[in-house]
Amino acid sequence: MNTTTAINADLLKKLENKSATIGIVGLGYVGLPLLIRFAEEGYKVLGFDIDQDKTDALMRGESYIEHIGADKISRALKNQALATTDYTHANEADALIICVPTPLDQHREPDLSFVLGTMESLLPHLRKGQVISLESTTWPGTTEEKLKPMIESRGFAVGKDIFLVYSPEREDPGNPDFTTRNIPKVCGGVTEACKAAGLALYGQVVDQLVPVSSTRAAELTKLLENIHRAVNIGLVNEMKIVAAKMGIDIHEVIRAAATKPFGFVPYYPGPGLGGHCIPIDPFYLTWKAREYGINTRFIELAGEINSAMPDYVISRVMEGLNRQGKAVNGSRILILGIAYKKNIDDMRESPSVILMEKLQNLGAKIAYSDPHIPVFPKLRKHSFDLASTPLTPATLESFDCALLVTDHDRFDYDMIFSHAPLIVDTRGRFQEKTGKILKA
C-alpha cells in the first residue's frame, strides 16, 4: 500500500467507525444542525465561528435559533461537542465542513469573501489526511478554481494528501418533516478519492447519498434547485397581478389547478423573495454564465418580477388607504410578520424589511408584530429600533392598515379580521371577500 492509499484508507476507516473528529465551520442555520447531527451519531465535533457570542451561548447549552431546542445543544455537549473561535483547533479535525454565507455585493455580484476568508484562516492548520467539504452555495467551479489552489499553495496534493469535496446544504429551517438526516445529500469530489472521502463523511449521518461526477455538477445542482423555485415563483407572481386586474383570486385558481394529478406543481405568490437562497442563488449562475458568453434571460426576467413585488404590495396599500380617504404619509401601518417565511425566526433577505423601509420613506409610521422575533435584530444592511407589538383588539384598531407579510400560524386571524380597519394580504390567508381586505 503506497502512502497516498494509506492516508485515504486511514481517513475512511475513521469516518466509518466514527472515531473521526468533525469540524464544522460556521454555526448558523446550516452548520448548527450539522454539528448536532454528527454529535448524535457519536462523533467528536468541533464547531468554529467568528462570533464569540454564538460559541459562548453554545458552550452554556443555549440555542440562538428558535427551531433548534436547547435540549439538542445540551445533548451535543454531552457527546463531546465543543464550540470555539480558535481556528488553531482545526488541526485536530479529520473533516472540516465549511458552512458560511455567500451573499451578493453592492453590485449584485457573488461575494465569496466569507468562504475565502474562512479558508485563509484554516490554511495554517491543515494537515495530511483531512477531508474538506464546502457546503455554501456558489457558482460552478468555485471549489476547484478557488479552494483547490489555496490548499495546494501549502504544499498539499488534493486527492492524495487532502480530499476536497462540494456538498451543497439543503436545510429548510423550521420544516418538521425534513431534517439533516432525511434530506438526500448531493456530493461531488475533485477526484474519485475525494468523492469517496466525502461519501464516507456524510454516510453515517444522512440516510441517502447522491454522488455526482464532479464538484461543478454538485455546485450547479444546488443552483438549479433554487433557480427552479425562483422562476416558478416569478411566474405565479406575474399571474397574481394579471388575476387581480381581472378580479380573480389567484389563490383560488392555484388551489383548483393543484387538483390536476399530473403536470402541475403549485407555487404561491408573495410579497417578494426571502431567505438566503432563492433571492441570491440565481445571480451566482447569471454572473458565471457571462464568462461563457451566455445571457440567462429567463432567470433574470424572473428576478426582475420577484424584485418588483414589494412595490406592487405598496401600491395595494396605497389603494386600500385611498379608499378610506387616507394617504400613506402619516398613516399607521402594522407589519404582520418579519421573518422571511412562516413559523421561524429567520430574517435573512426578508421582504418585510424592504417593505418597512419603503413605507417609512413614504412617511408612514411603521410598527411590526411577529411572535417569533420579539426585537428587531441588527442586520448588516438594515436596522429598525423596534420591538414586536402585541396583537390585541385595541392595538389592531389603532392602526390604519395591517399588512400581512409573513403568515405565521400563531397569529389570531379571526381577531385580525374583526379588528383591523384595513388588511392587505400578501399570502392569501384571508378568504373573505369584504371591502376591507385587499389581496397583494
Q: Which of 170, 171, 99, 182 is nearest to 133 (CA)?
A: 99
CA distances from 271 to 277, 337, 346 (A): 16, 12, 16
99 catalytically annotated: no
Task: Note the residue count of the chain.
Answer: 440
CA angle 132, 134, 140 (to 5 degrees): 125
Q: Which position among 99, 187, 194, 277 bears the catalytic label? A: 277
Q: Which of 60, 93, 94 is nearest to 77 (CA)?
A: 60
Instruction: Say how far apart CA 311 and CA 308 lie, in whole Å.
Output: 6
Q: Which three cell numbers stand for residue 215?
A: 464538484
Q: What letter represents residue 127's amino acid?
A: R
By annotation, the residues acting in catalysis are 277
